[in-house]
Chain A
């Protein structure tokens, strides 16, 4: 039940954070394995979602650190090859927005600072409430609301710029 209910949201946040589908699935599995191991000691106090997404963000950071340690220089050819072999993104299957719009949104999101992006992703992809985000990020609610508002303003201006560049 928990897996069914939360897999998509955890996976979505990871994808929105720029993780490729395979890695996002691996990290999601790792998150739920941790959850399965820790659930017997979990005491329900109404903070389950904050706890779950905290595990997810910690796993994401662990993964990023591990990849950084094993990083190797990549040539231009490999990058182009990787882009060419990339399958259709979720935008092509979502049916809720034009693929171009979502691509532009992803491009703008990738230009946000990691902390701004985290706030936007947790709210709009993870579907967390501001209260849950405040618990998760250990920040006062007012600060978080202000951060979210500023992040959206930045995103909007980035999108305006991007859209302005479009023919």
Chain B
């Protein structure tokens, strides 16, 4: 078995180690250290470990491949599930499944505000508008202390829904 092991002793004259050719004792020591390195490399070649190391590395790569492929499959599956969840949530939100009533339909707003009658709805809307005139039209007593505004209009129970929808359209109820 030939693994073409090459061992190249160092060029100690230029290795910057502080050892140089002019110090025979140090040079002799370095030669012996190099010989030790060569001996270990030779031992590795004699034991034929390169082939076994190579085989082990190939096995490692072989055993890694299915693991990696499996990991990728799981990652793809997880990615698909996450995408499906996002699409599902978006669909449900668009269908109003999670509607809290604050920004939903006028009916939702009324329910969320615990409004049980059209008159109460009118008062609620007038409060939302901070419109004294509007408030006065439905509950003069409650209008006391509420600042006047330039715009006045009469609110009717039948107009409540339109007003609320208008509020929603311009940015929602305060």
Contacts and interface: CB of A to CB of B under 8 A. Distances in A.
B64 A37 contact: yes
Contact of B40 (A12, A35, A148): A12
Given A37-B60, A37-B64, A130-B15, A9 B41 contact: yes
Interface of A: 3-4, 7-9, 11-13, 15-16, 21, 25, 28-29, 32-33, 35-37, 89-91, 93-97, 101-102, 105-106, 109, 120, 123-127, 129-130, 145-146, 148-149, 152, 155-156, 159
B42 interface: yes
Contact of A125 (B33, B49, B64): B33
Interface of B: 3-5, 7-8, 10, 15-19, 25-26, 29-47, 49-50, 52-54, 56-58, 60-61, 64
A123 B39 contact: no
6 contacts: A4-B54, A25-B52, A32-B57, A97-B35, A101-B35, A145-B18
Contact of B41 (A3, A12, A25, A37): A12
Nearest to B41: A8
Nearest to A159: B29
Contacts of B38: 94, 96
B53 A3 contact: yes
A8, A15, A91 — most chain B CB neighbours (10 Å)? A8
A91 to B, nearest CB: 5
Contacts of B18: 145-146, 148-149, 152
B29 to A, nearest CB: 5
Contact of B17 (A29, A95, A145): A145
B63 to A, nearest CB: 9
Given A94-B38, A129-B15, 15 more contacts: A4-B4, A25-B47, A28-B44, A29-B56, A32-B53, A36-B57, A37-B61, A89-B43, A125-B33, A145-B17, A149-B18, A149-B19, A152-B18, A152-B19, A152-B26
What are the 6 A-B residue pairs with the smallest beta carbon separation, nearest first? A12-B40, A94-B39, A149-B18, A90-B39, A8-B41, A97-B35
Contacts of A126: 37
Contacts of B30: 124, 152
B44 A36 contact: no
A29 to B, nearest CB: 4
B40 A90 contact: yes
B21 to A, nearest CB: 14
